Every structure is written in C-alpha cells, then in structure tokens.
C-alpha cells in the first residue's frame, strides 16, 4: 500500500468525526463563534431538529471578504494571535469547526464586518468551496447548515428523531446562555419558539442570577443558595441547590470554567464530595457553578469538543469547591426547599375530590367540562408555589408575636407527637411537621462532625466486645480504616480472615446494633474510592453512624424531648435535611391551611 498524505477533504471529514456528532454539536460550534465575535444577540433556527436545516445569526463583529475565505480553511483562526496555547481566552481556537462542518454538510457563511458597507457569502459543500460573492447581509454573521452528514451517510444513520436532536440542541443553547447572561438568545423551530432569553442587564452577579432563573426555573432560583469563594487567584461563584431539591442523576449540574461549559470528572467529583453527607449516594443536587481560573492555570485543549479541562493545581480547585459548597449549605441552616411543602400540599387535596377528576384535566371553564367553581379551583390554587421557608417576610406575620413568646422560635413549639414518628409544632405563621428520625439523625451527624473537628468523639466500651462476620474483602477494608474509625469513636480490630472485633462505639450512639452498623460501614468503604480525601470519607462514615444512632421512628417522645429536638435543630447547621437529602421537616403556613379549607 502506498504511503500518501490524505487530501484536505478527507482530513476535514476525519476531524468532523470528532467535532460534529449531531446537530447540537454544530449549534455549539457556531454559537461559540458568535460569542467569540462579541455578539449581543444570537438567534438559532432549526428544521427537523437541525438535521435538514439549521442557522445561527449574530450581530457580532463579522468578517470581511478575505477573512471569510480564510475562515473556512482548516486551522484558520483569528484567536491565537500570539501562537500561545497556554493562555486561551476564547471559546474557539483550533480553527477546525467551520471546515469540519463544511466537509460533512452544506455550509453557507454570510458576513459583514461591523466597519464595512458590504456583505459577502461563501459556500462549502462536502468540502468544495464556492465564493466569496457579494451578499445582502446586515452587520454580523449568519451561518446556515443544510443536510448535515449528506457527505457521510454512515453518520446520518446515527441521528435520532427530530425531537431528540432538538432536545440536545436546546441543551447546548441553555448551557451557553447561562455562561453569557448579557447576550440575548432565541431558539426556534419553524414558527415555534423553543427558548427565548432576553439579554440580562446589570452587574454580572445579578445578570447571572436572572439568567439562571430563566433557564433553570423559579423553583431552582427559590431553592438555591449563593456560593462565592476565592483562593490563590481562583474564583468560584454560582448557585447551589438545597439538598432537598435533588435529582436522580447529575444532568442538572452545570459547571463552567472561564465561561466555557464543561463536564469534568474532577468538578463533578468535588460536587459529590461536598453533598456527600447531606444526600444519599444515588441522588444528585442541582447547581450552576462558575469557576474563574487564570488562563495559564487550566488546559482546555484536552479534547476537540473542549468539554474537559485539566487544572494545573487540581487539589486547589477541588478544595475550593468542596469548601465553598459546604459553607453555603451550612449557612442555609435548617432551611428546606419550598417545593417539599408544595409537594405535600399537592398530595393533600381535599378528599371529597376523591379521584373523580384526573390530575391535569383542563381548567374549569374549558368547553365541555362544566364544573362548579369551588373545591376544585381551590384545590388547584393551593398547589401554587409557596414562599421559601425563610425568605425575608414581605409582610410581618398577622399576629405580631411579642419576642419573648414561644412564637419567636422558627420551628415553633411542640404540640403533639403523631404516629410515634412525627412532631407537630405550632409556629408564628403556621405549623411545622418534623420527621423525628430524620431530624435526630441529622443532629447526631452534626455532633459527630463537630466532636471530630474538636479532637475526638467520646467513646463507650462494649460490655462484651462484639465479633462481626463479614466477607474477607469487607473485613479487610474495615480493618484497614481502623485508624480513621478510631477518631470517630469506633474501636475495631481484625479478627481472623472474615471478621472484625468491635470494642468501643461512639457514646452518642447509645444502644446500637453493632453488627448492622459495621456491615453498613463496610459497604460505605467499598463505594468510596481512594481519590476521596480523608475528610470526605469521614463525613460519609459520620452519616452512617448517625443513621444507626438516632431516635427511631416509633419511639414515643415527651414534650420536653420534642422541644429540645426543635431547639437543637434551629441551632444546628444543615438541619433542614437528613443525610439522605430527605427533608427533616415541612412547614404549612396558616394561609395555606386556610386556603385548603376555602377560607381564603
């Protein structure tokens, strides 16, 4: 076989294999180009999810005739003026996107430089360039891509339904819109508006908050806490969802490095570490975090799609994220997310409706569904969003309580215990229902953590040391961590090949099922890989210990015990959710209860 240099068209097609996977990747490359060109408005149109037609129009600085011809050539870029791959300040820099797209589709690039009176356009179809020729074009650039993958039919077969492709494209636009709040975005398919974000003005912090609310929804905005930290020139900002606002996967975690959306294992791992002791392992928080790193301290040239990054000092970045998130969540105190009470209220629809009406029926008054106003309307009304629990009260509570009264307690005064599981407390503005097990678990965990930080956890010797049988690998794992566990008040030692001997347990746990505890710990240790710092490991172990040491549902509490629990919750950071991310309490406001009964 003869050795030869590949023709450009083939090289570009090969490059396209890495950069252009589906319509969404074309959208990403083109929108990034518009952002790099300083656009303030970017409009994206799709047909068939982008497979047959997509266009991106911007009002950026545009290109003149000669630059237009150059832009579609391989490795042509205006973005590395000093040949410096170390300090990259733009989203693009590889000079690959336009030729790659032109190699596998029919690309038309029309542009007019901001300072020029004339527009030009150029075509590339399956790698063949035609133009530039004069064109009527307002200042800015419009890239039009037709018949994606017509030149590479094998790829064409992998395209999914238009809905799926449209979904991926919308996802790309959402991410970039979060990164550039000052830019207006629209995504339309045919006549249909899919996304529309007006430019958000004001300072970056406000603009970002508004854009995040527009993209991620009010629910997120209402149930997230601000995160801000800086260390050694690395800045972290953003919003972190309360643990109770959790999801089954990490899809709603948005991470940006120097305004570039990334999906990076290190960053995702840091988020997991930070929420480890407030969320179960299979639940994931929602958040949007923006990391600003000096360009020379991060390498974005890891993969052609540029979604992975390498940090010069990954320990610093990880520590910053974990620390800032923990602090933000601790500051949120006993707050739990408003959507929890909303969900509870949704379930508390008046029994008289009794399933006669399917959920999601057309609103009363829709043709053909005569129904008396009243209960059903009210039922719907009280599913409207509640205010978040500790939002600054817009109006003082109706009966302004004297400060020395019990009403001054945010979690109120215990009135009753029901089903030996829930504490019902009266507050100044309504009532609170506490899950006693979840709440106590939280308190024990925070105590353990505090004791740990203050030098050690009080232990209590077992009258009879307990032998716990495990499979040999698990026994070895537990024995290997004996040092860490000792700091937590748990004295274990190896006991033959498939067992450990437990001599002491943390005094806080009281009478506990030692065998169950050790088995759970062995599972924990198996899940936690060695990349996780000792501190995080201990946090997870604290959570397991706390779960074993807390008041079980089903234990009767007297009034003093209940009130003590409420006061402790108020004084404890992160008391709003148990270590599995479930809320420890929900609040119903008097006004919501009144609405429930049609008094409002």
The residues binding ligand ADP (CB under 6 A) are: 29, 33-34, 37, 58, 60-63, 71, 76-79, 92-98, 141
Owner of token pair 């060695």: 530
Question: What's the closest the beta carbon of residue 43 comes to ligand ADP, in angstroms?
Answer: 12
Among the listed ranges 45-53, 97-105, 142-150, 555-563, the one in contact with Mg ion (CB under 5 A) is 97-105
Calculate the CA 578 to chain-centre distance: 19
Question: What's the closest the beta carbon of residue 409 comes to ligand ADP, in angstroms?
Answer: 58
Question: What's the closest the beta carbon of residue 353 comes to ligand ADP, in angstroms?
Answer: 55
Among the listed ranges 85-93, 361-369, 383-391, 553-561, the one in contact with Mg ion (CB under 5 A) is 85-93
Sign of the CA dihedral with 573 first, then 576, 581, and 582 last: positive
Among the listed ranges 33-41, 291-299, 349-357, 553-561, the one in contact with Mg ion (CB under 5 A) is 33-41
As a whole number of Å, the CA-based R_g of the chain is 29
Is 107 in a helix, a strand, or coil? strand
CA distance linking residue 302 with residue 353, whole number of Å: 58
Residue 209 tokens, joined: 């908050």
Nearer of residues 30 and 444 to Mg ion, judged by Cβ: 30
CA distance linking residue 280 with residue 272, whole number of Å: 10
Nearer of residues 26 and 428 to Mg ion, judged by Cβ: 26
Nearer of residues 45 and 595 to ligand ADP, judged by Cβ: 45
Owner of token pair 């993958």: 149
Nearer of residues 66 and 130 to ligand ADP, judged by Cβ: 66
Contact indicator for 597, 458 with CB cutoff of 8 Å: no
The pairing of strands 310-311 and 287-292 is unpaired
Q: Which does 93 bind (CB under 5 to 8 A by kind): Mg ion, ligand ADP, none?
A: ligand ADP
Among the listed ranges 89-97, 156-164, 520-528, 579-587, the one in contact with Mg ion (CB under 5 A) is 89-97
Q: Which does 95 bind (CB under 5 to 8 A by kind): Mg ion, ligand ADP, none?
A: ligand ADP
* Using rule CB under 5 A, residue 417 touches Mg ion: no
Contact indicator for 388, 397 with CB cutoff of 8 Å: no
Peptide bond between residue 132 and the one before it cis (omega within 30 degrees of 0) = yes
Contact indicator for 408, 537 with CB cutoff of 8 Å: no
CA nearest neighbour of 501 among 548, 469, 526: 469
Calculate the CA 316 to chain-centre distance: 21
Q: Which does 60 bind (CB under 5 to 8 A by kind): Mg ion, ligand ADP, none?
A: ligand ADP
Calculate the CA 326 to chain-centre distance: 15
Binder among 97, 107, 178, 525 for Mg ion (CB under 5 A): 97
Question: What's the closest the beta carbon of residue 145 comes to Mg ion, in angstroms?
Answer: 14
Alpha helix segments (H runs only) across 126-264: 153-156, 162-179, 204-216, 218-222
Question: What's the closest the beta carbon of residue 61 comes to ligand ADP, in angstroms?
Answer: 6
* Using rule CB under 5 A, residue 92 touches Mg ion: yes
Q: What kind and span of H or E run contains 527?
A: helix 514-527
Nearer of residues 98 and 439 to ligand ADP, judged by Cβ: 98
Question: What's the closest the beta carbon of residue 13 comes to ligand ADP, in angstroms?
Answer: 15
Nearer of residues 20 and 452 to ligand ADP, judged by Cβ: 20
Q: Which does 37 bind (CB under 5 to 8 A by kind): ligand ADP, Mg ion, none?
A: ligand ADP
Question: What's the closest the beta carbon of residue 93 comes to ligand ADP, in angstroms?
Answer: 5
Number of residues interacting with Mg ion: please give it, by CB under 5 A: 3
Q: Which does 533 bind (CB under 5 to 8 A by kind): Mg ion, ligand ADP, none?
A: none
Q: Which does 96 bind (CB under 5 to 8 A by kind): Mg ion, ligand ADP, none?
A: ligand ADP
Owner of token pair 């860490």: 484
CA distance linking residue 501 with residue 358, whole number of Å: 57
Nearer of residues 74 and 555 to ligand ADP, judged by Cβ: 74
CA nearest neighbour of 323 among 199, 395, 229: 229
Nearer of residues 40 and 78 to Mg ion, judged by Cβ: 78
By beta-carbon distance, which residue lies closest to ligand ADP? 92
Nearer of residues 113 and 227 to ligand ADP, judged by Cβ: 113
The residues facing 236 across adjacent strands are: 229, 291
Owner of token pair 């990034």: 32
End-to-end CA distance of the chain: 85
* Using rule CB under 5 A, residue 111 touches Mg ion: no
Q: Which does 98 bind (CB under 5 to 8 A by kind): Mg ion, ligand ADP, none?
A: ligand ADP
Question: What's the closest the beta carbon of residue 100 comes to ligand ADP, in angstroms?
Answer: 8
Compute CA distances 508 → 187, 436, 460, 488, 570, whole Å. 56, 17, 9, 11, 20
Contacts to Mg ion by CB under 5 A = 33, 92, 97
């Amino acid at each position: 076989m003869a050795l030869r240099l590949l023709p450009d068209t083939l090289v570009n097609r090969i490059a396209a294999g890495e950069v252009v996977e589906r319509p969404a990747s074309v959208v990403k490359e083109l929108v990034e180009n518009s952002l790099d060109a300083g656009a303030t408005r970017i409009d994206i149109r799709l047909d068939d999810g982008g497979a047959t037609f997509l266009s991106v129009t911007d009002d950026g600085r545009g290109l003149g005739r000669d630059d237009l011809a150059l832009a579609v050539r391989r490795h042509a870029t205006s973005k590395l003026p000093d040949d410096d791959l170390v300090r990259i300040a733009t989203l693009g820099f590889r000079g690959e996107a336009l030729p790659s797209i032109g190699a596998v589709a029919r690309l038309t690039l029309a542009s007019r430089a901001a300072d020029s009176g004339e527009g030009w356009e150029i075509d590339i179809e399956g790698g063949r360039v035609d133009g530039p020729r004069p064109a009527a074009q307002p200042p800015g650039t419009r890239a039009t891509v037709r018949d994606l993958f017509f030149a590479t039919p094998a790829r064409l077969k992998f395209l999914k339904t238009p809905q799926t492709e449209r979904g991926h494209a919308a996802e790309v636009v959402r991410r970039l819109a979060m990164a550039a709040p000052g830019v207006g975005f629209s995504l339309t398919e045919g006549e249909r508006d899919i996304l529309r974000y007006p430019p958000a003005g004001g300072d970056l912090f406000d603009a970002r908050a508004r854009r995040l609310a527009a993209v991620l929804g009010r629910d997120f905005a209402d149930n997230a806490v601000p995160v801000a930290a800086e260390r050694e020139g690395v800045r972290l900002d953003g919003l972190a969802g309360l643990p109770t606002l959790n999801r089954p996967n990490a899809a709603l975690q948005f991470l940006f490095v120097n305004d570039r959306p990334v999906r990076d294992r290190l960053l995702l791992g840091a988020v997991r570490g930070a929420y480890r002791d407030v969320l179960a392992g299979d639940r994931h928080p929602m958040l949007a975090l923006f990391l600003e790193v000096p360009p020379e301290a991060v390498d974005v040239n890891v993969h052609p799609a540029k979604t992975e990054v390498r940090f010069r000092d990954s320990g610093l970045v990880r520590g910053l994220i974990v620390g800032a998130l923990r602090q933000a969540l601790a500051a949120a105190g006993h707050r739990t997310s408003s959507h929890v009470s909303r969900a509870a209220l949704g379930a508390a629809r008046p029994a008289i409706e009794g399933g006669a009406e399917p959920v999601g029926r057309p609103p009363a008054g829709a043709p053909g569904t005569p129904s008396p106003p009243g209960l059903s309307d009210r039922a719907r009304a009280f599913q409207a969003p509640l205010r978040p629990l500790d939002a600054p009260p817009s109006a003082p509570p109706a009966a302004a309580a004297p400060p020395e009264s019990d009403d001054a307690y945010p979690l109120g005064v215990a009135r009753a215990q029901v089903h030996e599981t829930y504490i019902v407390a009266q507050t100044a503005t309504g009532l609170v229902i506490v899950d006693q097990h979840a709440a106590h678990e939280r308190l024990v965990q925070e105590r353990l953590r505090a004791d740990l930080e203050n030098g050690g956890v009080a232990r209590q010797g077992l009258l009879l040391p307990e032998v716990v049988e495990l499979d040999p690998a698990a026994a070895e794992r537990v024995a290997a961590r004996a040092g860490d566990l000792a700091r937590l008040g748990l004295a274990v030692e190896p006991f033959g090949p498939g067992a450990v001997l437990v001599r002491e347990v943390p005094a806080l746990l009281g009478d506990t099922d030692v065998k169950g505890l050790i088995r759970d710990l062995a599972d924990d240790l198996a899940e936690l890989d060695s990349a996780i710092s000792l501190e995080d490991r201990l946090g997870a172990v604290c959570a397991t210990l706390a779960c074993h040491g807390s008041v079980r549902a089903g234990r009767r509490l007297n009034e003093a015990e209940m009130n003590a629990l409420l006061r402790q919750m108020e004084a404890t950071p992160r008391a709003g959710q148990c270590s599995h991310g479930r809320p420890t309490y929900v609040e119903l406001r008097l006004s919501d209860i009144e609405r429930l009964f049609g008094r409002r």
